[in-house]
Amino acid sequence: MEDFGASLEELRKTFRSGKTREESWRRSQLKALLRLVQEKEDEISMALKQDLGKHHVEAYRDEIGPLVKSIEFAMAGLKGWMSGKKAKLPFAAFPAKAEIIPEPLGLVLVFSAWNLPIGLALEPIIGAIAAGCVAVLKPSEQAPACSSVIAKSISAYLDPKAFKVIEGGSLVSERLLEHKWDKIFFTGSAAVGRLIMTAAAKHLTPVTLELGGKCPAIVDSLSSSWDKDIALKRILAGKFGTCSGQACIVIDYILVERKFSSELVQLLKKYIQAVFGDNPKQTHSVARIVSKKHFTRLKSFLDEPKVKASLVYGGLMDEDNLFIEPTLLVDPPLNAAVMTEEIFGPILPIITLEKIEDSIDFINFRPKPLTIYAFTHNETLKNKIVSQTSSGSLVFNDTIVQYAADTLPFGGVGESGFGRYHGKFSFDTFSHEKVIARRSYLIDFWFRYPPWDFKKLQLLKAGYRFDYVSIVLMFLGLKRTY
């Protein structure tokens, strides 16, 4: 911390040197980051196992694999992303031309989260590198093994005068926020997001907030056994199979018609046992809870008497190993903590409705979610969900897939966050689109300047409409007829 100010000045000096603006430098750093992810795969997997109990396959599916894909996508598109876009100017500026050129914002600060501690740390860094920024990365202290791997690896692979990792807890975060940044990128809770915005406002620093919320899954009655089989597997993967439900984009609760609810519960029980076995802890396919604090929080959800009465499956806990088995609730009280707070764990409430269309009002009376999932063949219902709800993303008949797409922007709306990233959208997040206009001295239109008269007004009106014929006729003292 004593060298903190000096470290930031070193980063700014690197940015001011201009080398980060060069395509060759950006490409070299992307290649170095790719080598980091590939060469450190085993070490990263071990750290994820240590911090979250993640299986190597889950670690690759959710963090390592997507990073490799994202880096390669950025390298393939980098030259095109850096190119300017031509734009038109009004006729009154003729002869002239204009373009929009992306330029790096400068020194950026990235706060990552503990639930995908490698992916959520390095994915924004890909965008910062591609955009030509220098960056400080603050990993989550709640995933200490991953934080350590990131700190050691980035200093060894990337330009140490352009990228630094600062480890620590909330005090370090507070100290970082005292400084002026050109951009702050935060992934985490809405409560901390508000603190980030407050601190950023002092310097008018732009922010991207990737938050969360309660992501609903609308489950319509499905006719064929094949559809039910696929849907149930995708629901389980989108809840219990993704960091044990500790992710912002997992299903938080299910909405289902009351007449289909009993069948759905029985199917969920069947598939949980089929996928995770009678003792899910022994399969090593369910990640553990990240900390004692979060374990206690989840336990308190289930300890509420009325919530406990709604438990229909699971509920087994092992505090020593921070393990909670996949748990199902049916119609817990809507004012209970499990239904008002983001769960972030392997607890899945199922809310029954008279008709599936009521799910739209249920969602709309709550903060806008990061994602809405809907399992249905009903095209009318699909259209209503599209037109009558608002969310960061909307996925029909699957889960999580939108997060893995480099061609789609990822981000929230309202309390689920704002700003977006992934693919070129990450590049855009860390760039400023600068307008450049160029005009010749060859021609200068007199009607742009005072003193004003009616003829100048007519010429200006024609000019803003790009009505070149009217302008020529007025110069000749003629009037256009239509």
- Active centre residues (catalytic): 210, 248
Q: Which residue has the tokens 């396919």?
A: 285
Task: Please choose, from the candidates 283, 386, 300, the residue with its C-alpha nearest in 3D space to the C-alpha of residue 336.
Answer: 300
Alpha-carbon distance of 454 to 456, in angstroms, equals 5
Tokens encoding 176: 């970082």
Give the contacts of 99 (CB within 8 A, at least 6 positions apart). Answer: 84, 85, 86, 87, 435, 436
Strand partners, 396: 374
Tokens encoding 444: 């200068």
DSSP 8-state code for residue 347: E
**Beta-carbon-side half-sphere exposure of residue 313 (alpha carbons within 13 Å):** 23
Q: Strands 85-87, 96-104: parallel, antiparallel or unpaired by DSSP?
A: antiparallel
- Phi (first) and psi of residue 419, to 5 degrees: 95, 165
Task: Please choose, from the candidates 144, 103, 140, 94, the residue with its C-alpha nearest in 3D space to the C-alpha of residue 121.
Answer: 140
**Beta-carbon-side half-sphere exposure of residue 197 (alpha carbons within 13 Å):** 15
Alpha-carbon distance of 25 to 131, in angstroms, equals 11
Alpha-carbon distance of 183 to 432, in angstroms, equals 11
Give the contacts of 309 (CB within 8 A, at least 6 positions apart). Answer: none
3-class DSSP state of 312: strand
